[in-house]
Amino acid sequence: MCRMPKNLWKILDYEKYEDYITFSSIDSIFEQEIDERIVYIEDLKKRKQAYGICGECNEPGTGEYWCQSCNAKRFKDNLKNWTSGNEIIDEFMQQSQLNAVHHTKYFEWIPFENFRNVTHTSSDGYGNFYSAEWPNGCINSWNIENQKYERSTNCKVALKSLYSDIRADFFNKIKSHLQIHSFDIIQCFGLTQDPGTRDYMMVLEYRDGKSLRNYLDSSDYNISYELKIFILFQITKCLLDIHNAGKFHKNFHSEYILINKDGYVSISGLGMCQPVNDEQSFKEHKIISYLAPEVLHGHEYSKAADIYSFGIIMNELFSEEIPYNDISHDNYLTIKICKGNRPIISEDTPKLFANLIIRCWDAEVKNRPTTKELYDILKKLNYEKYFYESEICSQIEECDKIKEKFKNKFNKYRLSYISHLRARYSDIFLSPESKSDVDLSELEINEICQDYADFIE
């Protein structure tokens, strides 16, 4: 008969220990050490929760069955048993292990031969994606009784190719996974290297689900307003976690929002995340239709630019349409956005959300809501959506009537445009050089827009 392992972790006194997690920076290899961040979990604000006291050193744990000091010693003793073959990468990963305060906050070097059934799945403007099986799996906890790590065996993972050399932004692609604490954000387990291409690859958590765009495209049933509000609430929570860590997403769009069959959200694309004081904001390709006008003009990226992108995403969810799906996604679109053009808000969007969308994509950065304000608004609406006397519930009822009115006349129960042939994600990457194309006089912009309008007619 199977017997559960003995739990040697002592239960904490709930009156003595608050629930918090501290994060050490691993930036000291390349930058000056930054202060430890205390991540405050708002949902636990009024209740106390304990993770236990280590049965080996008798100190409080900083994560579930995870003692930072004891694990640092174990990782240090194991350093001689692995190497990536690159001293800089080795040091980077060693520091992540020695400072790990939770089992999700460190990196491993995983030899490529440890993976099974590696299959190419997709590509984007940044590299190739593969699915794979990892029989050993990632570390979950330390079993004190058996003196060994417990692992999530037979994991399915996603492999994301990076580069075959160490570039200036190499570690920016991966270290955000250590600096942002959210269980709704895709975890990075470590690095590997493809022996064929010599490309380094991120080993990412695989989660079932579809991108928001594919979720909308494949839905052959009516997505309720209640579910849409819940999805938006989860997205704002993830975005708040990113911004609270002193980062911005930098390339926030519906392809990086994953939704499973139960409507739960995960955020990917953290490889694009940058510190808020990073001036290199236009190094990579980006998707035009989600970019704030100030970014298209070549100004520095900011948290407010993420808010603008969220406004586009919010409207995409309610309209279920690709943003600007009636025109080509090229430099003409860039000009139109800079002149104030925005996607059409469908008639069946609740007014509370229509007003919020307009605020988020306001051309003036100062007029956009903060991430915390967005989170508080969505949290309140998500709570009130089932109360008949609430304003949002009343608006949902009205919008349901509008959808029913157009049910037999329009696809997906809404006013819809015929998507332009070039309004596709594969065609809308904006290269760094393209930003200079918007530096035109007002007269030139008006002439170009008029020429384009005559062309599409």
- Are 311 and 371 spatial neighbours (Cβ–Cβ below 8 Å)? no
pLDDT of residue 64: 55
Pick the residue with more confidence: 170 or 384?
Answer: 384
pLDDT of residue 125: 61
What topology is assigned to 210-274+284-394 in CATH?
A: Transferase(Phosphotransferase); domain 1 (1.10.510)
Q: What is the pLDDT of residues 421-435, one digit of tens each?
A: 444 443 344 444 444
Report the chain's mean pLDDT, rounded to a whole number.
76
Q: How far apart are alpha carbons 117 and 86 in whole angstroms?
A: 26
Pick the residue with more confidence: 118 or 163?
Answer: 118
How far is residue 279 CA from its own chain's centroid?
21
Pick the residue with more confidence: 400 or 218?
Answer: 400
Q: Where are the domains of the chain?
A: 1-78, 85-206, 210-274+284-394
What topology is assigned to 85-206 in CATH?
A: Phosphorylase Kinase; domain 1 (3.30.200)
| Burial environment of residue 31 by CB neighbours within 10 A (0 to 12, 13 to 18, 19 or more) | exposed
- Do the two domains 85-206 and 210-274+284-394 of this chain adopt the same fold? no
Q: How far apart are alpha carbons 162 and 199 in whole angstroms?
A: 6
- 164 vs 45, 193, 196, 380, CA distance in Å? 45, 8, 11, 47
Which range has the worst mean pLDDT, 202-206, 394-398, 416-420?
A: 416-420
For residues 48-75, one letter each, b for 16 or more C-beta atoms within 10 angstroms of the residue's C-beta and e for the rest, the string is eebbbbbbeeeebbbbebbbbebbbeeb
DSSP state of 254: G
Whose CA is closest to 361, among 379, 346, 343, 375?
343
